[in-house]
Amino acid sequence: MIKKIHGVYMVLAEARGQDGKHKKLGTYKTMAEARKRLRQVEFFKHRGKK
């Protein structure tokens, strides 16, 4: 998921960790950069499954 926090776009994991928080997967200046990173995360998450 992508959220705008303090003027930057943060890519966060959908699932929450044991501490109840979402894992941060990067911060980006533009929405386009954040979407590109989210696509990369999803690609590697599903890679190798048949």
pLDDT tens, position by position, 18-33: 999 999 999 999 999 9
Q: CA 46, 44, 9: angle at the middle one, nearest 5?
A: 115
Number of H helices, E strands in the chain: 1, 3
Share above pLDDT 90 across residues of the chain, in percent, rounded to a whole number? 86
Domain ranges of the chain: 2-46
pLDDT on residue 50: 65
d(CA 24, CA 39): 15
Q: CA 34, 14, 6: angle at the middle one, nearest 5?
A: 50
Mean pLDDT in residue range 9-14: 95
pTM of the model: 0.81
Q: Are strands 8-16 and 2-5 parallel, antiparallel or unpaired?
A: antiparallel
Average pLDDT, the chain: 93
pLDDT on residue 27: 97
